[in-house]
């Protein structure tokens, strides 16, 4: 019998499911008999419990289980016969007026939409690029040295200077009252590295061990501490300890300790450049990928299934809750997280997923084995033992699925940029890395 599909609104559909009562009852009886072989009841040997007792104890749960299974089978068969791509889980409710000997149900559900990809040739997209400069290499080498620096106490006669690590006691007051977070003892920071507000940083320069100093400090309007943002505080600082930094020289031994076998400065700079170029490539690709996806959404037209958006909302809320747990937030499981906060993100993700899937299908942009291999090889070069990293990816289906998703996104980006009006834009290295 042909399945009649009723269109309700946009993507919403409804079909009637008919289940023969005899089939239902027969399956219930079969399962109860099977269950009776293992049921234990006081006064009866195992396997000898009367069916009346089994039915009384387990009849309702078995009936519900069989009903759900039969409805699921009937729905799957009907959807397949009608060639429907079902989005989400159907809502099923009993229906009156069933033919004699049958049970009727209405299944209401959504289907996947038709996706119109639109014309990309008229869309203008910025394609970014960036270069690794010698200055960037210099700064990275300095960072490597700072990561391995040591500190030694300054002579008592010398004041605190740039790059010194200082230990201080401080107390800040607003309108004569100490504010939350405004007092500390034996607090350490390094002068000139942005750990403190610039006014505070400048105020301690030149101080010697044992010195006390008072000074006003104006908190910025956009300061992260809302209680003090935009307010002026009076600080009292006592210098407890001053330590000068000692940066390691670029000796052969030091360079070899960084994993550079030949131990030369040229070898170190070449390795730094290679790593920075890899990072630049991934960041540029990320920028260009975002621009390509925005272009796709701009021209594509489709309805999005509410069921898929709801599923995505659940996932985003769950991720947010997991994040709270990882931060050690008490009672994170009970924390109210309004799903409405994620509504725009969920809708965009679902819309983009549907559009990308259609573009991949229509243009054969699936990930090829050699692309997967090349991507894993490239990622593994960022690690000390690339071969181990490659095996780690290749040995797990889930991790390979994640790699496949990235490669497909790269294929989509390349395809989109081949169709749109590209405007090339060079980004300074620093701007790219801080974005």
- Specify the higher pLDDT residue, 384 or 136: 136
Mean pLDDT value of segment 144-155: 94
178 phi, psi to nearest 5 deg: -65, 130
Residues 50 and 180 in one domain: no
Residue 62 lies in a domain: yes
The CATH number for 275's domain is 1.10.3120
pLDDT band at 311 (very low <50, low <70, confident <90, very high): very high
pLDDT > 70 fraction of the chain, expressed in percent and rounded: 100
User: For residue 128, is pLDDT > 60?
Assistant: yes
Residues 265 and 412 in one domain: yes
Degrees, nearest 5: CA angle 113-118-120: 140
Distance CA 89, CA 146 (A): 56
Q: Within its chain, how far is the Cα of 134 from the centroid?
A: 33
Give the number of domains in the chain.
3
Residues 273 and 369 in one domain: yes
Residue 141 lies in a domain: no
Residue 254 lies in a domain: no
DSSP assignment string, 37-64: TT---TTS-TT---HHHHHHHHHHHHHH
Question: Over the stretch 195-213, which tens digit does the pLDDT of each residue have?
Answer: 999 999 999 999 999 999 9
Residues 224 and 321 in one domain: no
* Residue at which a domain ends, from 219, 246, 273: 246
Q: To which residue do tokens 């394609």 refer?
A: 127
pLDDT band at 288 (very low <50, low <70, confident <90, very high): very high
pLDDT at residue 324, as a whole number: 86
Residues 273 and 361 in one domain: yes
Mean pLDDT value of segment 175-192: 93
Residue 100 lies in a domain: yes
Cβ density class 206-236: b for 16+ within 10 Å, e for less: ebebeeeeeeebebeeeeeeeebeeeebebe
Between β-strands 124-129 and 421-426, what pairing exists: parallel, antiparallel or unpaired?
parallel
User: For residue 1, is pLDDT > 60?
Assistant: no
The whole-chain average pLDDT of the chain stands at 91
Residue 20 lies in a domain: yes
pLDDT at residue 2, as a whole number: 61
Residues 369 and 305 in one domain: yes
Within 10 A of 292 (CB to CB), how many other CB atoms are there?
25
Residues 46 and 187 in one domain: no
Name all contacts of 55-59 with Cβ < 8 Å and 24+ positions apart: 58/32, 59/28, 59/32
pLDDT > 90 fraction of the chain, expressed in percent and rounded: 73
* Residue at which a domain ends, from 89, 111, 133: 111
Distance CA 135, CA 307 (A): 51
Q: Which domain does 274 fall in, by range?
A: 261-434
* Residue at which a domain ends, from 63, 88, 111: 111
User: For residue 28, is pLDDT > 80?
Assistant: yes
Q: How many residues appear in the chain?
A: 435
Residue 422 lies in a domain: yes
């Amino acid at each position: 019998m042909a399945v009649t599909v009723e269109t309700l609104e946009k993507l919403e559909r409804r079909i009637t499911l008919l289940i023969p009562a005899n089939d239902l009852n027969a399956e219930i009886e079969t399962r109860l008999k099977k269950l009776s072989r293992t049921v234990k009841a006081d006064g009866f040997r195992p396997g000898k419990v009367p069916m009346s007792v089994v039915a009384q104890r387990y009849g309702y749960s078995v009936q519900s289980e069989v009903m759900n299974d039969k409805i699921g089978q009937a729905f799957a068969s009907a959807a397949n016969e009608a060639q429907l791509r079902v989005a989400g889980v159907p809502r099923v409710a009993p229906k009156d007026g069933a033919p004699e000997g049958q049970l009727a149900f209405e299944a209401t559900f959504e289907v996947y939409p038709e996706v119109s990809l639109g014309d990309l040739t008229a869309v203008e997209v910025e394609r970014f690029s960036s270069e690794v400069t010698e200055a960037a290499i210099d700064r990275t080498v300095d960072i490597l040295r700072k990561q391995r620096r040591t500190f030694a106490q300054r002579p008592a006669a010398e004041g605190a200077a740039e790059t010194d690590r200082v230990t201080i006691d401080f107390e800040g007051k607003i309108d004569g009252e100490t504010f939350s977070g405004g007092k500390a003892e034996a607090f350490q920071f390094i002068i000139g590295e942005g750990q403190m507000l610039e006014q505070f940083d400048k105020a301690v320069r030149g101080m010697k061990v044992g010195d006390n100093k008072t000074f006003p400090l104006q908190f910025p309007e956009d300061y992260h501490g809302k209680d003090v943002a935009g307010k002026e505080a009076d600080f009292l600082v006592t210098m407890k300890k001053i330590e000068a930094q000692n940066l390691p020289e670029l000796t052969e031994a030091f360079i070899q300790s960084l994993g550079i076998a030949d131990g030369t400065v040229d070898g170190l700079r070449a390795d730094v450049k290679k790593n920075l170029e890899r990072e630049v490539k991934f960041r540029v690709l990320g920028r260009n990928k975002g621009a390509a996806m925005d272009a796709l959404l701009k021209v594509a037209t489709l309805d999005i299934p509410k069921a898929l958006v709801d599923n995505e909302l659940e996932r985003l809320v769950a991720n947010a809750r997991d994040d709270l747990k990882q931060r050690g937030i008490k009672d994170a499981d009970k924390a109210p997280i309004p799903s409405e906060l994620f509504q725009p993100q969920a809708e965009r993700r679902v819309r983009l997923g549907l559009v990308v899937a259609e573009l991949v299908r229509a243009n054969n942009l699936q990930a090829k084995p050699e692309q997967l291999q090349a991507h894993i090889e490239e990622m593994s070069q960022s690690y000390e033992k690339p071969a181990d990293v490659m095996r780690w990816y290749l040995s797990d289906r889930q991790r390979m699925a994640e790699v496949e998703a990235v490669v497909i996104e790269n294929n989509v980006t390349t395809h989109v940029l081949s169709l749109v009006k590209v405007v090339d834009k060079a980004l300074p290295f620093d701007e790219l890395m801080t974005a």
